[in-house]
Amino acid sequence: MSLAIELQHTFTSTFQETPHLIIKSPGRINLIGEHTDYNEGFVMPAAIDKGVYIAISKRKDNQIHLHALDYDEHYSTTVDLLTFGDNLWTKYILGATRIVKERESLGGFNLAVAGDLPLGAGLSSSAALTCATTFALSTLFELALTQIDIARIGQRTEHEAVGVRCGIMDQFASVFGKENSFIRLDCRDLSFEYVGADLSDYEILLLNTNVKHSLASSAYNKRRESCERAVALVKEKYEEVHSLRDISLAQLDELVKHVDPEAYQKAKFVIQENQRLFAAVEALQHNNLPSLGELLYQTHWALSKEYEVSCEELDYLVAEVSRIPAVLGARMMGGGFGGCTINIVKKDKSHEVFEQLKDDYFKKFNLELTPISVAISEGTHIVKDFTT
């Protein structure tokens, strides 16, 4: 039984009615361009086939009833009170609802949620949840929210309900995803283009370290603060500067290196990561996959040694696959401190690569290694509309 059908059944048995809508918002991968989004830089994500499903119906009163299939948990509040509850999943759903309510009037609703994204794997389950919620409310109550509104509300929810000052990459990818396409996104003005994700003789393999990262941990916000300190130092002399995007390595050397070495190191990474992204787009366009793979390795070791957001398990996996000829490139993906590596692997060799790694990985870390295969898919959409 598909997850959408299972969710529909659970919704019906929980709320004794048929949902009005079932919505899906996907998780994402990111080819290259990490920790650049909140620096007004460039990213290259793609939506995947796994995601979050929401079934929803309007109520005649102003009550809100939520049910999470994966945890078998229930939470109730009202549109006026809008308390968030203690769980992350209720905070995300009701945090997004609160932001929607600031600008649009809402009635009560019943909502059930389920997902097939591994949690904490760096595949943006939280962005999928907030975007699914916002899109569901927008469709159900016929609000005039645009796709950009939905992505921005998802991002604000993360900032306000959970305290992670994330960029917009995850939400944007979840909303704007397109089958078989990466999204080359400029995080300053949100202009973007789709770049074909055909890797000819190669495929993408995700390896989940099963180290649960916590984006909510202060480390993410601290990295952002380091970048902001670097910008502030350069701005003292060059007023026109707004973000790392506007800063050259020479300016960093001149104004940050000796004043704030920590900020210097982090800012340098971001500037160079943007450059690697441009090189990667070119490599993709010329079907130069070995060069793309090499850029992924470079990004990984810079994320590990300079940006300091990797962990032993991620470093181990990237070092090991670099000795396997079927692998062109690999790196940690997402915020870091755990989650997945993204690997570019010769077609049909993914299983072999995983088999080569899994026993030693288990022996070394006492953790399972899990392969995740993903297809690049469409963004947030209606799976079923029961009102038509």
Supply the minimum distance, in Å, between the C-beta of residue 123 and ligand GAF. 9
Stretch that binds ligand GAF, among 33-41, 100-108, 286-294, 296-304 (CB under 6 A): 33-41
Could you say which of 34, 40, 313, 320 contacts ligand GAF (CB under 6 A)? 34
Nearer of residues 55 and 318 to ligand GAF, judged by Cβ: 318
Supply the minimum distance, in Å, between the C-beta of residue 57 and ligand GAF. 30
Per CB under 6 A, 273 contacts ligand GAF: no
Could you say which of 51, 120, 335, 379 contacts ligand GAF (CB under 6 A)? 335
Per CB under 6 A, 334 contacts ligand GAF: yes
Could you say which of 11, 38, 42, 75 contacts ligand GAF (CB under 6 A)? 38
Closest of 15, 9, 141, 20 to residue 387, by C-alpha: 20
**Interactions with ligand GAF, residue window 123-162 (CB under 6 A):** 124
Q: CB count, 10 Å around CB of 122?
A: 30
* Backbone torsions φ then ψ of 78, nearest 5 degrees: -130, 165
Per CB under 6 A, 166 contacts ligand GAF: yes
Closest of 152, 113, 110 to residue 131, by C-alpha: 152
311: left (phi over 0), alpha (psi -120 to 50) or beta: beta
Per-residue CA distances from 368 to 87, 297, 328, 355 (Å):
26, 23, 24, 12
Nearer of residues 137 and 169 to ligand GAF, judged by Cβ: 169
Nearer of residues 11 and 182 to ligand GAF, judged by Cβ: 182
Supply the minimum distance, in Å, between the C-beta of residue 236 and ligand GAF. 26
Per CB under 6 A, 169 contacts ligand GAF: yes
Is residue 73 within 8 Å of 87, Cβ to Cβ? yes
Report d(CA 337, CA 44) in Å as an integer: 20
In DSSP terms, 203 is beta-bridged to 345
| Helices then strands, each counted (H, E), the chain | 11, 13
Nearer of residues 133 and 350 to ligand GAF, judged by Cβ: 133
Closest of 25, 78, 59, 66 to residue 141, by C-alpha: 59
Supply the minimum distance, in Å, between the C-beta of residue 371 and ligand GAF. 21
Nearer of residues 31 and 55 to ligand GAF, judged by Cβ: 31
Per CB under 6 A, 37 contacts ligand GAF: yes
Report d(CA 250, CA 258) in Å as an integer: 13
- Write the interaction track for ligand GAF spanning residues 90-129; mark x where CB under 6 A is met and - where it is not: ----------------------------------x-----
DSSP secondary structure code for residue 178 in this structure: B
Supply the minimum distance, in Å, between the C-beta of residue 130 and ligand GAF. 11
* 170 catalytically annotated: yes
Q: CB count, 10 Å around CB of 287?
A: 13
Could you say which of 35, 50, 229, 245 contacts ligand GAF (CB under 6 A)? 35
Marked catalytic residue, from 70, 170, 315, 360: 170
Q: CB count, 10 Å around CB of 254?
A: 14
In DSSP terms, 183 is beta-bridged to 194
Report d(CA 54, CA 111) in Å as an integer: 7
Catalytic residues: 170
Q: Would you tell me which residues interact with ligand GAF (CB under 6 A)? A: 34-35, 37-38, 124, 166-167, 169-170, 215, 334-335
